[in-house]
Structure 1
Amino acid sequence: MPYFADENGAIYHITADGAHNYPTTLASVLVKDGVVTLVNKEGQATADYKLWQSLTALAASIEPEGDGSVSLDDAVAELHTEIERFKAYWIKNNELTPEDFPLRFPADNAGAWAEQFLFFFDSDDE
């Protein structure tokens, strides 16, 4: 489930069908291309926020280490973000060419997921 945080740090979710928990008395919520736009009652866009595919990725984006060090939690959050990016890439390509991007590998080839992820991680694919 995707999430976004407003300027006050409050975190909200959006479901695949567009349902969300942002207070509708404050603004309407529009989602397009990974961006959440808040629209006031007059129909004016008041704010844009990045849509994150996981709470881990959202947290990593708002809690950077000040000294440049990378904690285990930071590393896991970064990998989680990359895995979510890989998942979105794979699903998008599955819709175009399902024979090349299957959603399931047979049990005797389950390691193919790790191979595909590493290939994606090392490439410039989006």
Structure 2
Amino acid sequence: MCSMSSPPVVASMRMWVSDDPERDWETILAPALAYQAGVYARMGTDAGHPQPPNIDPHTLRRTGLLIDTPEKMVNMIQPMQASAPLTEICFWSHLPGVSHEAVMAHLERVSKHVLPPFSAREV
């Protein structure tokens, strides 16, 4: 619990918990992130100027994104928790174009397998 003497410490990240990270990267996350980056790139284009080309999902690298199995995700978060007293983890749960079913499966893995080891620490 947070109080005035112990303010919240929040980790904000791109995180996806999967039973098959390679499959989900290729079929779900890379296309969603390519679309999202393309939308942002077009927002920065002045009217009357050429639009940037669409981003090919196959050209994206998995940097800045935690995507792995529940067990490996816990192993990635534990060093963060050890170095800072995390009270919360924030992440985008629903990237653009990702089906409701895929999002719910991801969130279920987070709630059932990733968060419990940290619940005593209130992450």
Where on the TM-score scale, by shorter chain, does this alignment land: which range? Answer: under 0.3
Report the TM-score when normalising by structure 1.
0.24
Higher-strand-fraction structure = 1
Q: Relative contact order (C-alpha < 8 Å, sep 6+): which is higher?
A: 2
Q: Which has the higher helix share?
A: 2
Q: Which TM-score applies when normalising by structure 2?
A: 0.25
